[in-house]
Amino acid sequence: MTNKPAPTAVAIHELIAGRWSPRAYSSEPVSREHLHQVLEAARWAPSSYNAQPWRFLVFDRSVDEVSFKQAFATLVPFNQGWNAPAPVLIAVTTHTLTNKGEVNRCAPYDAGAAAMALVLQAHALGLAAHQMSGFDPNAFRTAFKLPNDVDVIAIISLGHYGEVDKLDPVLREREKSVRQRLPLAEIAYGGGWKKVF
């Protein structure tokens, strides 16, 4: 299943409405050209003071299976299950300090913006991308010797869409279910907290 548009209340751009987080992957490798394109999209994300604090660690199974397996091992067992065929994992990390050595409170926000640019570009290329918080940050930090001022925020699996019917029954149902979000009135307020927009 490659197409699962959001049932939006008002029209939004297809690139945003069409992006979703699939779990059915093919084991087909992702081309280096496509990897460069998704990373280039991330490179042009906005950031506070143009600090660009994000750093992406790319684990391409077809290029370096040893490192890929190390990154894969940090995923929680549930995520390991459906990511078994995924050909690429990308860790989203961010520098937590400014170049003056002060805490950069915008760093996670900026890294999130870069990650969103990455997954939107993946969708534009017809690739599947799924952002995950289900991994062990300490194990990842140790395995890849991250500096003290770098946090790992998420891991994105990336690949070609696979066959939904190969997922276990529970995940198969999730994959086919209608996408849902909170109503706009619950996430957007006008002029003050919980005031109607």
Sorting pLDDT into bands at 50, 70 and 90, what band is 59?
A: very high
Question: Is 89 within 8 Å of 154 (Cβ atoms)?
Answer: no
Contact yes or no for 83/134 (Cβ under 8 A): no
DSSP line for 85-138:
T--EEEEEEEE-B-TTS-B-TTHHHHHHHHHHHHHHHHHHTT-EEEEE--B-HH
Q: What does the mean pLDDT of the chain come to?
A: 97
Task: List the beta bridge partners of residue 25.
Answer: 161
Instruction: Name the pLDDT band for 47 (thresholds 50, 70, 90).
Output: very high
pLDDT(1) > 70: no
**What is the model's pLDDT at position 118?**
98
119-135: per-residue pLDDT in tens? Answer: 999 999 999 999 999 99
The CATH number of the structural domain formed by 14-187 is: 3.40.109.10
In which band, very low, low, confident or very high, does the pLDDT at 7 lie, cut at 50, 70 and 90? very high
pLDDT for 2: 81
Rounded CA-CA distance 65/53 in Å is: 27
Using alpha carbons, select from 57, 55, 26, 54 the residue that is nearest to residue 126.
26
First to last CA, the chain: 36
